Amino acid sequence: VNPLGQPVDGLGEIRTSKTRPIEYPAPGVMQRKSVNEPLQTGLKAIDALVPIGRGQRELIIGDRQTGKTSLAIDTILNQKDQDMICIYVAIGQKESTVRTQVETLRQYGALDYTIVVTASASQPSPLLFLAPYAGVAMAEEFMYEGKHVLIVYDDLSKQAVAYRELSLLLRRPPGREAYPGDVFYLHSRLLERSAKVSDELGGGSITALPFIETQAGDISAYIATNVISITDGQIFLKDDLFNSGIRPAIDAGSSVSRVGGSAQIK
């Protein structure tokens, strides 16, 4: 589907009477539960060193061409028969790339439990800005029904660039790196909606894997540091590890999972 919920796979209309606001308040602190169930990615390096729990936000950060997308696709494929619904949000990618990823998901039978939300590079910036919120609105519908959801945002740097473009066109005062002053809130209100909710609300969860693309391994850039501070840990992928044939190219020293330890299978 596109960020407006319209199908783009050519398989006809989606018949439904349900609607949901794209912007919705995140669950409060009393409506949450601590993360205690593991999410198995199927990648030993992650499940052993930086374990991810259901309801966690784990940032995947690295340069372009370091295997971020394939890490997410592998994780989605590993959720087969795990009672998880996966949502893959492709922001500002080439349509041919998205088509390849959808074909991979179809080949392994992952489209039975996966929604793909796509706003390609050729579409106007408001759609790129809306895509992650559309994805998380769909995820919330399942979460409040007591289901477990994995949502992948690929990637949030492109959403920030689209938002910067919109803000500059609207003559809003630019700040650091020409981003508007509320670019932190852009991502914080999105990622705070991923949570493990209490049993009274159904006990569902949204696990978020946001992506940030760095320039020459600089994790101290503006958007990178913003999202690192919002998430519950990060997996840092290095291009020199990737080029030397280590896949996934995880830099164990600078990767951390802040809440996954309590969810790890002992």
pLDDT digits (tens, 9 = 90+) for 14-72: 888 899 999 999 999 999 999 999 999 999 999 999 999 999 999 999 999 999 999 99
Domain ranges of the chain: 36-259
Catalytic member of 32, 189, 247, 258: 258
Question: pLDDT tens-digit profile of 157-191?
Answer: 999 999 999 999 999 999 999 999 999 999 999 99
Look at residue 182 in the predicted model and tell me its pLDDT: 96
What topology does CATH give the domain 36-259?
Rossmann fold (3.40.50)
pTM of the model as a whole: 0.96
Question: pLDDT tens-digit profile of 107-155?
Answer: 999 999 999 999 999 999 999 999 999 999 999 999 999 999 999 999 9
CA–CA gap between residue 21 and residue 232 (Å, rounded): 26
CA–CA gap between residue 64 and residue 239 (Å, rounded): 8
Q: Residue 88: beta bridge partners?
A: 116, 152
Look at residue 16 in the predicted model and tell me its pLDDT: 87
Catalytic residue list contains 258: yes
Look at residue 245 in the predicted model and tell me its pLDDT: 95
